[in-house]
Structure 1
Amino acid sequence: MSPAHAAPESRSSRAGEFVRDNLPILLVAAVLVVAVVFLAWDRWRRGTFFFGGATLLAAALRLVLPTDRAGLLAVRSKGFDVAWLTVLGGAIIVLAATISSLGVT
């Protein structure tokens, strides 16, 4: 069959390809959505833990995935990205754990 007569790519296959190519950042974004939901429900501490967790998830994905598969998580060198995301995620979680809740959960 000639290329002119080839079946057009279906929407589902394009969507599947998009998800496969961007899965690392989509996983991180999903955790961030959960964090925003907690913050919207006035659960700032839980939301902050999820923000820190999303950052640590990004660090872990950047560490284990090759640069060409890391997608938008690959900004600088792998070592720099992993170190910076780990420090940032850890700091967010430590702050969430140590700040007094003042009666707010």
Structure 2
Amino acid sequence: MSRPPLYVRRPFLAGLVRQLPLLAVLLVVGVGLAMVTFEHWRWGLVVVALALVGAALLRLLLPVRRVGFLAVRSRAVDVVLMAGVGLTLAVVALSIPGT
């Protein structure tokens, strides 16, 4: 006799597990914003940019049922936009001359 799937047994827990990729991205963004707050703005923005590139990779590699709210549009559009904004942010942050 097989057990019913998690979303039938514990729907709240299943929904929470589904949002783990988004939670991971938000935690990294929070670390980057904390770095910006404590006057390490360049590296803080690079961390935020890496979070966006990581979100793009998660969206590219994970199936739709596991990616949660990282899936907003089609897979291709999500990946291109997140990776593009992340790379652009990193390039801009690293190209501004320091004092």
Q: TM-score range by the shorter chain?
A: 0.7 to 0.9
**Which residue number in structure 2 is paired with residue 99 of structure 1?**
96
**Which residue number in structure 1 is paired with residue 51 of structure 2?**
54
Q: Return the offset for 1:20.
A: 1.6
Residue aligned with 2:45, SS: helix
Count of aligned pairs between the two proteins: 91
Structure 2 distance, partners of 1:34, 1:14, is: 30
Q: Which runs of 5+ in 1 are unaligned?
A: 1-8
Identity of aligned residues (%): 33
**In the TM superposition, what whole-angstrom CA distance separates every residue of 1:60-104 from its partner, at most 9, and x where no partner exists?**
000001112111110110011101111110000001110112x2x
Instruction: Give, as a single letter, the amino acid of the residue that structure 2 aligns with 1:35.
Output: G
Structure 2 distance, partners of 1:15, 1:45, is: 38
- Of the three residues 19, 32, 39, the one matched with 1:35 is 32
**In the TM superposition, what whole-angstrom CA distance separates every residue of 1:16-71 from its partner, at most 9, and x where no partner exists?**
54542211000101101101110111100011001101100110000001112111
Residue aligned with 1:42, SS: coil
Larger radius of gyration between Structure 1 and Structure 2: 1
After TM superposition, which residue ranges in structure 1, 4 or more long, deviate above 6 angstroms? none
Instruction: Give, as a single letter, the amino acid of the residue that structure 1 aligns with 2:21.
Output: P
**Which residue number in structure 1 is paired with residue 18 of structure 2?**
21
| Counterpart check, 1:81 vs 2:78 | yes
Q: TM-score, normalised by structure 2?
A: 0.83
Q: TM-score, normalised by structure 1?
A: 0.78
Structure 2 distance, partners of 1:87, 1:100, is: 22
Structure 1 distance, partners of 2:13, 2:27, is: 17
